[in-house]
Structure 1
Amino acid sequence: METVSGASNWKLVFRREGGGVTLLRAGTPDARAVLPEELLGLPVTALGDRALAPDRQTAPLPAGAETLQITCIPPEEGAAWDNRSLRDLTLPQTLKAVGDYALLNCSALSTLRIHDGVSRWGGGALMNCRSLDTLHLTRTGPDQGEALAWFAGELSRELDVTVYGPGGETARLLFPEYTELYEENCPAHHFDYFISGAGYPYHHCFRQKRLSLKEYDGLWRDFLGMEHDESAALRLAWRRLRWPVDLAEGAAAGYPAYLKEHAGEALRLLLEEGEALPFLLELTEPDRETLLDACALARERGATAALAALLEEQHRRFPAGAEKSFTL
């Protein structure tokens, strides 16, 4: 097997097809890995069926296939090149098609980084990717592709999505969780289908497989009227205000009102996520007790940058000198 240097460690089995390369198998021992965009001077245009499935990495070579090993920092001796440690995967910008069950059983994978040029996602491509909840999507042209609609429809769990636009704009969106359940109805000899969770409309706010941010924002009031996860609501509102791409006028008022009403919970949440606080403090104007509680939490966690912002806000709005009184 020929060995070349690259950005990540990979053992690849591939075939040259139609002016490009199809990866038939790709195995890595790395926790974070980037698949190459080019092999032997040809663009990587497709992932074959079960290409990254851990149990496929030792299968016999298909007829006409070639092999290549890419090395970066050598892995530990005895490390398995089977994707079982893979947590963060970047797919190539040149990719056009992903085969059936391409990421089958990549159970540790939590973050996927893709471009919006993939025109085909195979059946069961994400089957048993139970940790996958974060998607970074880069749009390569002015028109939306269908990738985000496919992911939102394929995964019912909470999704943290960052979309990078062609003009440098960034939108960070939360798609709350919902559950689907089939229950056997024995007397009627059929299965009943149930949907629960306030996140279902968010996963389906697409028109012709393109995301409508106007419709996304329009779901907010109904979402609050249903049983929902308060943490998800706080993060959803915060991200739409922090990255306000095409923010609808009505939502521009609804989101801050919710954050202001839940200022204490929002401060605690953002301390955990390590977000910058000045913008949130300006939006919510928390009372003194809320600020004191947030300062205590920041000290406890050693969040020095957050503590500095909180103390500055406390000093600005509740100066210590204002409390002093003198009796003559």
Structure 2
Amino acid sequence: MKRDENMAREYVKKDNMLSKEIRYKKTEKGMMITEYYGNDSYVVLPDEIEGEPVTILGDYAFSRNLSVEEIWMPLELKEVGRYAFYRCRNLRKLVLGNRLLDMGGGALTGCHLEEVEIYLQDGKKSCLKSIVEEMRYQMRIYLHAPEGGQEAKLLFPEHYEEAVENTPARILETHHHGAGGYYRQCFYDHELDYRKYDEMFYHTVAEDTEETAVELALNRLRFPAELSDKNRQGYEEYLKKHMTAVAKWTVKQEEVEGIRFLQRRKLWTEQSLQAGMDFAAEGSKTEILSIFMDIRKDQFPKKKKTFEL
């Protein structure tokens, strides 16, 4: 599969994007990129070098670049070495294929990765488990399915541990916060278990913010890969009870498609639409405000006054 301009959803590639600031060597397993020595914030690594597929990213390959923010990996990549992105503190996004099933030890040490896009070329296995296990922060994941398949947009909530002193017992107790730890256990043999993922939602409701729960539920409804009727109903019921929070989140994220999706599902209430209009007006989001006004006019038209003589 060749990378081209149609592969990314909301992405426009620039001219001259494929990075040439790399060192590499040929191996029995294919070309290995041993080092990226540039200072670009956006890097697209080549799929091929000298006619050979790039299959390996070496140890510490990006450790010199502290400014990189987004990396497109070679689609045929099968190995990522130890500490490959060591100290890439500004790295926020990775785009890759699913030939890669594991990352080398400490590959993302020192990173604050927020977003990952994976193109599922062969089956549903990927290195997603390796990535989310290294990141305790909230992460947004986009799984691009082959043509005709269902795509998924997933949220992995944050989680962290806190050492709390139990003075009477003279011991330190580990307290876990956030639902993210539960979601990071929803994998089997390098494949995400959607059923188990959906069953963790009650942890999100109990342990995370309302905004997190709203985003997670809306993502699953909009991109329902392997979503059962039971879990679909559960997500819808949650949103119905929190439509004011939904309105606030959609305005904040300027989620026009999300707003339209909820319109088609007839989940907006007059009260939540008014809340959306208020939030949009406060934030000077004129386009969003106009959309909410149109939806309210369509779904809740004002009754014409009649006069009897």
- Alignment TM-score, normalising by the size of structure 1: 0.81
For residues 284 and 273 of structure 2, the distance between their equivalents in structure 1, rounded to whole angstroms, comes to 16
Q: Residue 237 of structure 2 corresponds to which residue in structure 1?
A: 257
User: Which deviations, in whole Å up to 9, do the C-alpha atoms of 1:212-269 show, x marking residues without a partner?
Assistant: 1011111223432x22211110000000001111111211101111111111110121
Q: Residue 201 of structure 1 corresponds to which residue in structure 2?
A: 182
For residues 191 and 38 of structure 1, the distance between their equivalents in structure 2, rounded to whole angstroms, comes to 52
Shift of 1:32: 1.7
Counterpart check, 1:246 vs 2:226? yes
Q: Residue 18 of structure 1 corresponds to which residue in structure 2?
A: 28
Task: Please give the secondary structure, in 1, of the residue aligned with 2:207.
Answer: coil
Per mean C-alpha deviation after superposition, the further-off stretch among 164-173 and 299-308 is 299-308
Q: Residue 96 of structure 1 corresponds to which residue in structure 2?
A: 78
Counterpart check, 1:136 vs 2:117? yes
Shift of 1:210: 1.7
Shift of 1:281: 3.0
Q: Residue 267 of structure 1 corresponds to which residue in structure 2?
A: 247
Shift of 1:188: 9.4
Match of 1:235 among 215, 225, 228: 215
Alignment check: 8 A CA contact 1:157 1:176 kept: yes
For residues 182 and 137 of structure 1, the distance between their equivalents in structure 2, rounded to whole angstroms, comes to 35
CA distance 1:45–1:287, shift in 2 (3 Å) = closer
Query: What percent identity do the matched residue pairs reach?
Result: 29
CA distance 1:319–1:6, shift in 2 (3 Å) = closer
Instruction: Flag structure 2 segments of 5+ consecutive residues without an equivalent.
Output: 1-14
Q: Residue 4 of structure 2 corresponds to which residue in structure 1?
A: none
Work out which structure has the larger RCO, using CA pairs closer than 8 Å and 6 or more positions apart in sequence.
1
Match of 2:199 among 203, 209, 218: 218
Instruction: Flag structure 1 segments of 5+ consecutive residues without an equivalent.
Output: 55-82
Match of 1:27 among 37, 46, 60: 37
User: Which deviations, in whole Å up to 9, do the C-alpha atoms of 1:82-133 show, x marking residues without a partner?
Assistant: x333111111012111111000011111011111111441111000002x11
Shift of 1:191: 6.6
Task: Please give the secondary structure, in 1, of the residue aligned with 2:53.
Answer: strand
For residues 200 and 238 of structure 2, the distance between their equivalents in structure 1, rounded to whole angstroms, comes to 14
Structure number with greater Rg is 1
Opposite residue 280 of structure 2, the aligned amino acid is: A
Kindly tell me the number of residue pairs found equivalent between the two proteins: 292
Q: C-alpha root-mean-square deviation of aligned residues, in Å?
A: 2.6
Matching of residues 1-328 of structure 1 within 5 Å: 6-18=16-28, 20-54=30-64, 83-130=65-112, 132-145=113-126, 147-167=127-147, 168-182=149-163, 192-224=173-205, 226-275=206-255, 276=257, 277-283=259-265, 285-320=267-302, 322=303, 324=305, 326=307
Opposite residue 38 of structure 2, the aligned amino acid is: T
Task: Please give the secondary structure, in 1, of the residue aligned with 2:224.
Answer: coil
